[in-house]
């Protein structure tokens, strides 16, 4: 049986960066419409079942409530799970979908949402659709096409190698134990509290470790991207230490905010290489959200690894299906 999962985060795209910068808002009405298009796209590929994570806004139920469901051939249901109403729901849903044999997961959210899903199940291919802020990992795409790509991958109809790549990740090691991970960046902040969670004060940033750094991105990775671009297909990552030095770079650190940043140190990271957290006490933000507190006595390292989640190339998948006649009678 072919099953596609959908994990949508109703909280993405609504943090403090709407107040301190010009970040856009993707409201839940739009997310409901996105989900409807995803369902229609998946169903058009002949998938047997679509499984949706429940959430506090009931995006799945609202999407189905406004659709002509009699035209949907696949069985569509809401995952039966107890909700925490936190980021843990995405992790739990991914684990449960893995147990149900889901062949592909479509995510609606930002870098943080995808990080939670990847923590729950790294082997299920992801089709990540962006609805958050400063996103690097998920992509802006037409959600109907994203659903079609997910259905094609789930049904395993392509002959030859599928257009799926393995993403890098950052593993956080605290006092000898692996405690968390990030998909895009781990940022060390001269701060004691997680507070509003989102990063919006550049003066607090001390160290940046990232799996990719591209000049067209927004946020901390743009700093590295404007110095030496690192793409998702590159095996290496990047380390940056901010502070007085010979390098100054302009970067889009928030939506609508271009800042001049002083860089004390920059280096390319190879897979397996670790960076030691120098600023203590501090807080580490993972994929844009403050998550880990570091005490003065803690020993913390951040390691680059190449064993992150599998990501579907949406355009490549659809092109491969076209070349093999998938859409013909």
What string of DSSP letters covers 165-205? Answer: EEPPEEEEEETTEEEEEESSEEEEES-S--TT-B---GGGE
Q: Residue 202 domain-assigned?
A: yes
Tokens coding 46: 């002949």
Q: Residue 25 domain-assigned?
A: yes
Cβ-contact 106, 7 below 8 angstroms? yes
Q: What is d(CA 148, CA 171) in angstroms, rounded to the nearest whole number?
A: 32
For residue 217, what are the CA distances in angstroms to 134, 214, 225, 273?
7, 6, 8, 24
Q: Residue 329 domain-assigned?
A: no
Q: Residue 328 domain-assigned?
A: no
Q: What is d(CA 326, CA 57) in angstroms, rounded to the nearest whole number?
A: 36
The domain of 208 spans 169-305
pLDDT at residue 24 in the model? 60
Domain tally for the chain?
2
- Residue 284: phi and psi, rounded to 5, are -105, 125
Q: Clarify whether residues 14 and 28 are in a common domain.
A: yes
Q: Clarify whether residues 44 and 135 are in a common domain.
A: yes
Q: Clarify whether residues 202 and 146 are in a common domain.
A: no
pLDDT at residue 68 in the model? 67
Q: What 8-state DSSP symbol labels residue 168?
A: P
Q: Clarify whether residues 9 and 74 are in a common domain.
A: yes
Cβ-contact 35, 5 below 8 angstroms? no
Characterize the bridge pairing of strands 177-182 and 169-174: antiparallel
pLDDT at residue 134 in the model? 67
Nearest one of 65, 69, 63, 79 to 4, comparing CA atoms: 79
- What is the CATH classification number for the domain harbouring 221? 2.60.200
Q: Clarify whether residues 80 and 46 are in a common domain.
A: yes
Q: What is d(CA 208, CA 210) in angstroms, rounded to the nearest whole number?
A: 6
- Residue 18: phi and psi, rounded to 5, are -75, -20
Q: Clarify whether residues 10 and 101 are in a common domain.
A: yes
Radius of gyration of the chain measured on its C-alpha atoms:
20
Q: Residue 265 domain-assigned?
A: yes
Q: What residues contact residue 328 under an 8 Å CB cut-off, 6+ apart?
A: none
Q: Clarify whether residues 114 and 154 are in a common domain.
A: yes
Q: Clarify whether residues 142 and 282 are in a common domain.
A: no
pLDDT tens per residue, range 180-210: 999 999 999 999 877 666 777 889 999 999 9
Q: Clarify whether residues 151 and 207 are in a common domain.
A: no
pLDDT at residue 23 in the model? 53
Report the SS3 class of residue 174: strand
Q: Clarify whether residues 147 and 220 are in a common domain.
A: no
Q: Residue 93 domain-assigned?
A: yes
Tokens coding 241: 């230490």
Q: What is d(CA 151, CA 28) in angstroms, rounded to the nearest whole number?
A: 24
Q: Clarify whether residues 136 and 202 are in a common domain.
A: no
CB atoms within 10 A of CB 210: 30
Q: What residues contact residue 23 under an 8 Å CB cut-off, 6+ apart?
A: 13, 15, 17, 133, 134, 254, 255, 256
pLDDT at residue 18 in the model? 40
Whether the model pTM is above 0.85: yes
Q: Clarify whether residues 209 and 112 are in a common domain.
A: no
Show contacts of 222-226: CB within 8 Å, 24+ apart.
222/251, 222/252, 222/253, 223/249, 223/251, 223/253, 223/261, 223/263, 224/266, 225/251, 226/250, 226/251
Helix (H) or strand (E) holding 64: helix 59-65
Per-run averaged pLDDT (10 residues), the chain, 329 residues: 95 51 68 95 98 94 82 94 92 95 96 92 91 82 97 95 95 98 97 73 94 93 96 97 93 90 96 98 94 96 97 97 94
- What is the CATH classification number for the domain harbouring 81? 3.40.50.10330
Q: What residues contact residue 153 under an 8 Å CB cut-off, 6+ apart?
A: 103, 104, 125, 127, 162, 164, 312, 317
Alpha helices in 78-183, H assignment, sequence order: 88-99, 111-120, 143-155
């Amino acid at each position: 049986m072919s099953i596609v999962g959908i994990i949508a985060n109703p909280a993405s795209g609504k943090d403090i960066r709407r107040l301190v910068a010009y970040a856009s808002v993707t409201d839940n009405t739009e997310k409901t419409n996105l989900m409807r298009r995803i369902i229609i796209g998946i169903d058009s590929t002949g998938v047997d079942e679509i499984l949706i994570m429940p959430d506090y806004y009931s995006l799945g139920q609202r999407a189905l409530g406004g659709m002509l469901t009699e035209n949907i051939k696949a069985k569509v249901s809401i995952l039966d799970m107890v909700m925490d109403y936190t980021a843990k729901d995405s992790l739990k849903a991914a684990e449960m979908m893995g147990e149900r044999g889901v062949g592909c997961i479509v995510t609606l959210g930002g870098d943080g949402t995808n990080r939670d899903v990847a923590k729950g199940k790294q082997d299920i291919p992801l089709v990540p659709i962006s609805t958050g802020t400063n996103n690097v990992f998920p992509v802006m795409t037409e959600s109907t096409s994203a659903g079609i790509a997910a259905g094609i991958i789930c049904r395993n109809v392509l002959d030859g190698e599928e257009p799926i790549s393995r993403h890098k990740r950052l593993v956080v090691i605290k006092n000898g134990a692996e405690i968390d991970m990030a998909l895009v960046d781990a940022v060390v902040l001269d701060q004691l509290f997680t507070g509003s969670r989102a990063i919006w004060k550049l003066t607090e940033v001390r160290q940046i470790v990232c799996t990719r750094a591209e000049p067209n991105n927004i946020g901390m990775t743009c700093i590295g991207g404007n110095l030496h671009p690192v793409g998702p297909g590159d095996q290496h990552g990047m380390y940056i230490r901010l502070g007085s030095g010979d390098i100054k770079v302009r970067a889009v650190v928030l939506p609508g905010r271009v800042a001049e940043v002083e860089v004390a140190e920059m280096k390319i990271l190879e897979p397996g290489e670790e960076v030691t957290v120098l600023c203590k006490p501090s807080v580490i933000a993972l994929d844009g959200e403050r998550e880990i507190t570091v005490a003065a006595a803690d020993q913390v390292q951040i390691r680059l690894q190449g064993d992150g989640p599998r990501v579907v190339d949406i355009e490549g998948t659809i092109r491969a299906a076209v070349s093999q006649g998938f859409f013909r009678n």
